Chain A
Amino acid sequence: AQTVTQSQPEMSVQEAETVTLSCTYDTSESNYYLFWYKQPPSRQMILVIRQEAYKQQNATENRFSVNFQKAAKSFSLKISDSQLGDTAMYFCAFTAWRGDTGRRALTFGSGTRLQVQP
């Protein structure tokens, strides 16, 4: 079974500063994907960034980047130049890759509530 752990229930950052959210996971799978999702108060889950486990290069999407440490099973999210619109719950998620017929459902962590202060 896979587990995803987010050890920071809440975090706060000043606008324009950088913040890092932590995530660790546990799996025996060798081929998998990791994600960060954002859930604003409107509640719709939005994909922020994803990482394929077989890729050594860390994924980046504009102000968002990850630090993927496969041996340590760590997957942190760095948000640079934080904006007020970044205020939301952030969830780390995992899915194993089992081909086109695989389940591919997501296993989520418990989330980190990020507040960006003006």
Chain B
Amino acid sequence: DTGVSQDPRHKITKRGQNVTFRCDPISEHNRLYWYRQTLGQGPEFLTYFQNEAQLEKSRLLSDRFSAERPKGSFSTLEIQRTEQGDSAMYLCASSLSRTGAGGYTFGSGTRLTVV
């Protein structure tokens, strides 16, 4: 098991374009979280899945953002009509619910730059 994998590592896009990020969690982890981290700040919760069900979305997740986790395995986060304010690091984390709090494993993140 190689941990949580995120792709791509870096993405530069023009304002108004759509982008999609992928997260592959640890295979036996049934919970998957997306966070956004801007420079000099701590990560902020965006959304989470338990298996394939998206159980909660933060109010930070505007209508331009959509996340999926088909079949409860990998997840995608899509941003439509990107804005400069979307520039950030997008972090994915996974955990196994029965292990209790603290069993999170983070990926290395996808850094998005909107120009």
Interface residues of A (CB under 8 A from B): 4, 33, 35, 42-47, 50, 91, 93, 95, 97, 100-101, 103-111
Contact = CB atoms under 8 A, between A and B. Distances in A.
A100 B97 CA distance: 6
B101 A108 contact: no
Nearest to B34: A105
Contact of B43 (A97, A101, A108): A108
B108 A100 contact: no
A105 B97 CA distance: 11
B94 to A, nearest CB: 12
Contact of A43 (B93, B95, B97, B108): B108
A4 B45 CA distance: 13
Nearest to A51: B102
Interface residues of B, number: 28
A45 B43 contact: yes
B85 interface: no
A105 B109 contact: no
Given A46-B106, A47-B102, A95-B101, 10 more contacts: A45-B93, A45-B106, A50-B102, A93-B42, A97-B100, A97-B101, A105-B45, A105-B48, A106-B33, A111-B42
Interface in B42-58: 42-45, 48, 50, 55-56
B104 to A, nearest CB: 7
Nearest to B44: A108
B101 A111 contact: no
Contacts of B50: 101
B98 interface: yes
Given A44-B107, A44-B109, A109 B42 contact: yes
A100 B107 CA distance: 23
A106 B104 contact: yes
Which of A4, A43, A46 has the most C-beta atoms of chain B within 10 angstroms of its own C-beta?
A43
B89 A106 contact: no
B91 interface: yes
B45 A106 contact: yes
B2 interface: no
B41 interface: yes
A98 B42 CA distance: 23
